[in-house]
Amino acid sequence: MVSVAFSEKYFESLLKLTPNEQSQANKAVMLFQQDPQHGGLHYERLTAFKDNKLRSIRANQDVRIILAAAEKENLYLMLYVDHHEPAYTWAAKRKVEVNPNTGSLQMFTVEEGVLQNPAHQPMPPVQAGLFDAIRDRQLMQLGVPEETIPLIRSMKIEADLEIARDNDQLPPDAYEGLFMLMAGASFEEAYQETVPTVPDKVDIEDFSTALARPESRAHFAVADNEQALQEVLSQSLEKWRVFLHPAQRRLSTGDKNGPVRVLGGAGTGKTVVAMHRAKWLAEQLAEKQGSSEGQVLFTTFTRNLAADIQQNLNKICSQAVLKHIEVVNLDAWVVSFLKKVGYDYGLLMNAKEENRLWNDAYAEKPASSDLTVAFFKEEWARVVQPQSVTTVEVYKKASRLGRGTRLNRQQRAEIWPVFERYRHLLASNHLKEADDAYRDARKLLEANPDLRPAISSVIVDEAQDMGTQAFMLLRALVPEGKNDLFMVGDGHQRIYGKNKVVLGQCGINIRGRSARLKVNYRTTDETRQLAVSVLEGVAVDDLDGGEDTQAFYHSLMHGPAPEIRCFDSMDEQAEAILVSIEDNALVPEACCVIARTRKEVTELKHALESRQQRCHLLDGRSTRTPDGALNLATMHRVKGLEFDAVFIASVNRGLLPLDFVVSAASDAVTRRQRENEERALVYVSLTRARKLAFVFGYGHMSPWFA
Ligand SMILES: Nc1ncnc2c1ncn2[C@@H]1O[C@H](COP(=O)(O)OP(=O)(O)OP(=O)(O)O)[C@@H](O)[C@H]1O
């Protein structure tokens, strides 16, 4: 019996084989683990190749598995599988080594000479090298293998670095440091970010130790016993389940000494980290069978997302571990908690009902004031609710920082009855705003510690859309200390601006425990760049009163630039959507047509259905899209989702930004915030695309895409 690990490449190559060949390869690996010397496997040393550790075994007459042997350790790394010829061609120039500087396990190709790179052929010979300012020793500290230094020195333009990565001429962990340098980071920044922990002494013969490092685990999966092997081979090989980025792995495992905040642009795997964190925490609880330490509460913003997360957790956790995780959207949790303790009211979720109550309360406004209903709604959401203001005396002293209209104490006293009336109307209708419900629940918990549910850790996804009261409740739910709170979010995706939060003001201290993910695993770099450009110049917060940045945020995949087109009519737009689906051989159920308003979505649906295209409206009830149906949704609905292709449709002047929302703002500051939210909606929508994005409008295009 030997230990076996798999490279990410192995799975990629396995998936290219026929199902029958895949099953033969799996059988060969299982047999190999039991008995490497089994005659049927033809275990063979590959001589005259770059790496003398390489071996091959047979999956069938023609299919060969290439592996690297660390025989002293009884450890074998499955690297690649293919038909005989291509398998050996692949293996000829590969090396698998423990990097002497970083201690990580690296696989790369060694080419004679420098880049075979067409990208910089036309460049003048005198052009400076991309990394001239960095010494060889520093390059090696970043994990660049010594043999690849000449290649690095031959790089002149950005594309050279990407080509080297795509040709496997650079190990991925070394690429990351080089990418940061190229994008303007200092050596120290790149080093700290990509090589955060270096072992004191690296033993380049010790593959097992190297394999345990997070950098190695990003590209190698270990299966050191038969059960683990069966699990790895039986999985449907979704990479996020196994190959975590080193930053993702560091965040998701190990004890944390207090609240952790993880930021990251769209698609950087924040939800994946949150799920793996939940799994790790629940595993610790499962190990302490019978302990009364409680559950992991995984909260997110909407019911749909909670359902998605539950499904994905089912894929990575055993039943015993799942028992320790409760996934729920916070609104549902709070309503059920309050019901249990005898409170009986619903949450105010309906915008029409909300407007009706506000119009009624507005009658209390003094005749002398010309403040609009919109002003009162904003004041309520940004001042009254976040600061839990319930009396006129407190309101007179409340901080109104960031509000565009000045109000002295007397004016505040004069308008206070509007808020009082609104609160009264809520109560007499047996309704609460979510913030009120969160506050009630928190106060109950603070006054009656016995009511505290047995929760040992809280995980928060989409944290940017949770407000102050939500975080204060979460703080009250779980005792301060080890592994208490783990929050992932992205201020760039805040589409409910009233919920902006400063964690420190909610009693959540994240100092020294925050991280930022930078690799977008979902979207092509072309789509990502367009999405980011829509937010250019918009200051984005880091959920704790500071500013966030998208520096070094990048995608590893490339594709065509998003197609931006303006049509004469809605009909032409609908036709173009269907033509694009056909021309790009897209599957309708893996695509989504996204528009700013429900009205536009409805019209698009009619236009598409009148062309015999079946449609599926994403409306918050989590149902599977029927085969052949095309998804349709508003921009707010697609948060957290992803599709092969997205059609951002009806990107018309007046609809983006949505005129009536922006112009209803009562002052310039609010107007700017609203416009930023409109931009965030476009950012969210574009970054749902895995492969292709289309930006379509009709009549006059939005000024952002004109
Ligand atoms: N380590 C990984 N390896 C491969 N794929 C990954 C990895 N991490 C995440 N992904 C994939 O990237 C995509 C985005 O991941 P995820 O939804 O967790 O990102 P996110 O940061 O929460 O996104 P958003 O904020 O845009 O909703 C998913 O398809 C996920 O499976």
Task: Tell which residue, 346, 360, 496, has the closest CA to residue 418.
Answer: 360
If asked whether residues 600 and 644 sit together in one domain, one would say yes
How many angstroms is it from 520 CA to the middle of ligand 1? 7
Whether 536 maps to a domain, the answer reads: no
ipTM value of the model? Answer: 0.99
- Looking from the CA of residue 687, the nearest atom of ligand 1 is 26
Q: Nearest residue CA, atom 1 of ligand 1?
A: 244
* Residue 143 in contact with ligand 1 by CB distance below 6 A: no
Q: Pick from 173, 220, 263, 271 the residue to mutate for probing ligand 1's pocket: most ligand atoms within 8 Å of its CB.
A: 271
Spatial distance between the Cα atoms of 689 and 692, rounded to a whole number of angstroms = 6
Domain final position from 176, 201, 226: 201
- Any ligand 1 atom below 6 A from CB of 240: yes
Domain count of the chain? 5
Instruction: Confirm whether 530 is domain-assigned.
Output: no
Ligand 1 mean position to 239 CA, how many Å? 10
Closest to 422 (Cα-Cα) out of 376, 485, 463: 376
Render the burial of 408-431: b for 16+ CB within 10 Å, e for the rest. Answer: eeebbebbbbbbebbbeebeeeeb
Shared-domain flag, residues 6 and 127: no
In tens, the pLDDT along 641-651 reads 999 999 999 99
Instruction: Looking at the structure, tell me whether residues 320 and 443 fall in a common domain.
Output: yes
Between the CA of 271 and the centroid of ligand 1 the distance, in Å, is 7
Could you tell me if residue 159 is left (phi over 0), alpha (psi between -120 and 50 degrees) or otherwise beta?
alpha
The last residue of one of the domains, among 201, 232, 266, is 201
Looking at the fold, whether 148 and 214 belong to one and the same domain comes out as no
Domain membership of residue 492 (yes or no) is: yes
pLDDT of residue 344: 76
Q: Do residues 189 and 211 share a domain?
A: no
User: Is 562's C-beta closer than 6 angstroms to any atom of ligand 1?
Assistant: no
User: Same domain for 17 and 62?
Assistant: yes
The answer to whether 103 is a known ligand-binding residue is no
Q: Is 555 in the pocket of ligand 1 (CB under 6 A)?
A: no
491 lines ligand 1 (CB under 6 A): no
The secondary structure element, H or E, covering residue 44 is: strand 44-45
In ligand 1, the atom with minimum distance to the C-alpha of 275 is 18
Q: What would the mean pLDDT of 665-681 be, rounded to a whole number? A: 88
What integer is the mean pLDDT of 463-489? Answer: 95
522 C-alpha vs ligand 1 centroid, how far in Å?
6
Distance, CA of 594 to CA of 600 (rounded, Å): 9
Mean pLDDT of 318-331: 94
CA dihedral of 284, 245, 207, 197, whole degrees rounded to 10: -80
- Residue 230's pLDDT band (boundaries 50, 70, 90)? confident
What does 118-176 look like in DSSP terms, one character per residue? Answer: GGGTTS-TTPPPTTTTS-HHHHHHTT--GGGHHHHHT--SHHHHHHHHHTT-S-HHHHH
Distance CA 242, CA 225 (A): 16
The one-letter amino acid code at 133 reads A
Token pair belonging to 66: 């290439």
Q: Are 494 and 282 in contact (CB under 8 A)?
A: no
- Which CATH number does the domain housing residue 70 bear? 3.30.2310.20
Measured from the Cα of 488, ligand 1's closest atom is: 22
Which domain CATH number covers 675?
3.40.50.300
**Interval 603-648: pLDDT, tens:** 999 999 999 999 999 987 767 889 999 999 999 999 999 999 999 9
Distance 475 CA to ligand 1 centre (A): 27
Report whether 223 belongs to an annotated binding site: no
Same domain, residue pair 265 and 314: yes
Q: Flag whether 640 is marked binding.
A: no
Q: Is 329 in the same domain as 388?
A: no
Q: What is the mean pLDDT of the chain?
A: 92
- CA-proximal residue: ligand 1, atom 23 (nearest): 267
Is residue 271 marked as binding?
yes
- Structural domain includes residue 262: yes
C-alpha separations of 645 from 15, 527, 560, 693 in Å:
23, 11, 12, 6
Closest ligand 1 atom to residue 461 Cα is 22
Say what the pLDDT of residue 274 is: 98
Cα–Cα distance for residue pair 544/531, rounded to 1 Å: 24
Section 275-298 average pLDDT? 88
How far is it, in rounded angstroms, from Cα 562 to Cα 159?
20
| Cα Rg, the chain, nearest whole Å | 28
Q: Is 270 annotated as a binding residue?
A: yes
| 265 labelled binding-site residue | yes
d(CA 183, CA 692): 25
- pLDDT band for position 488 (50/70/90)? very high
Q: What is the rounded CA–CA span in Å between residue 273 and residue 247?
A: 9
Quote the CA–CA distance of 180 and 517 in Å, as a whole number: 13
Quick one: pLDDT at residue 496?
Answer: 83
CA nearest to 84, candidates 48, 144, 42, 147: 42
> How many of the other CB atoms lie within 10 Å of CB of 228?
16
Q: Model's pTM, two decimal places?
A: 0.92
Does the beta carbon of 306 lie inside 6 Å of ligand 1? no
Query: What does the pLDDT read at residue 291?
Result: 61
Position 595 in a domain: yes
- Amino acid identity at 155: M
Nearest protein CA to atom 11 of ligand 1, as residue? 521
HEC profile of 391-425: CHHHHHHCCCCCCCCCCCHHHHHHHHHHHHHHHHH
Cβ of 687 closer than 6 Å to ligand 1, yes or no, is yes
Residue 517 has pLDDT above 80, yes or no: yes
Answer yes or no: is the C-beta of 33 below 6 A from any ligand 1 atom. Answer: no
Residue 114 has pLDDT above 60, yes or no: no
State the closest ligand 1 atom to the C-alpha of 239, by its place in the atom list counted from 1.
4
Identify residue 196 by its one-letter amino acid code: P
Least confident among 105-119, 371-385, 408-422, 522-536:
105-119
In a domain, 620, yes or no: yes
**What count of other Cβ atoms lies within 10 Å of the Cβ of residue 317?**
20
Q: Is 248 in the pocket of ligand 1 (CB under 6 A)?
A: yes
Is residue 380 pLDDT above 70, yes or no? yes
212 is in an annotated binding site: no
287 CA to middle of ligand 1, Å? 28
pLDDT at 402 over 90: no
**One domain for residues 229 and 301:** no
Q: Does the pLDDT at position 260 exceed 80?
A: yes
| 630/683 same-domain check | yes
Encode pLDDT of 427-475 as tens digits.
Answer: 899 888 888 899 999 999 999 989 999 999 999 999 999 999 999 999 9
**Domain membership flag for residue 549:** no
Going by CA atoms, what residue is nearest to atom 29 of ligand 1? 522
Task: Give the residue, out of 240, 465, 641, with the most ligand 1 atoms within 8 A of its beta carbon, to mutate for a pocket test.
Answer: 240
Least confident range from 13-22, 135-144, 153-162, 658-667: namely: 658-667
**Residue whose CA is closest, atom 31 of ligand 1?**
240
Q: Residue 123 has what pLDDT?
A: 55
Last residue of a domain, one of 462, 491, 520: 520
What span, in angstroms and rounded, lies between the C-alpha atoms of 528 and 564? 14
pLDDT at 122 over 70: no
Residue 507 labelled as part of a binding site: no
Convert the pLDDT of each residue in 552-606 to its tens digit: 999 999 999 999 999 999 999 999 999 999 999 999 999 999 999 999 999 999 9
Looking at residues 239-259, what average pLDDT do you find?
95
How far does residue 684's CA lie from ligand 1's centre (Å)? 14
Q: Note whether 53 and 63 are within 8 A (CB).
A: no
The pLDDT of residue 229 is: 83
Q: Is the CB of 241 under 6 A from ligand 1?
A: no
DSSP state of 560: P
The token pair at 409 is 């104490």
Nearest alpha carbon to residue 208 among 108, 94, 77? 77
| 396 C-beta closer than 6 A to ligand 1 | no
Residue 104 placed within a domain: no
Tell me if 239 CB under 6 Å of ligand 1: yes
Structural domain span for residue 663: 562-698
Looking at the fold, whether 389 and 501 belong to one and the same domain comes out as: no
Same domain, 684 and 581: yes
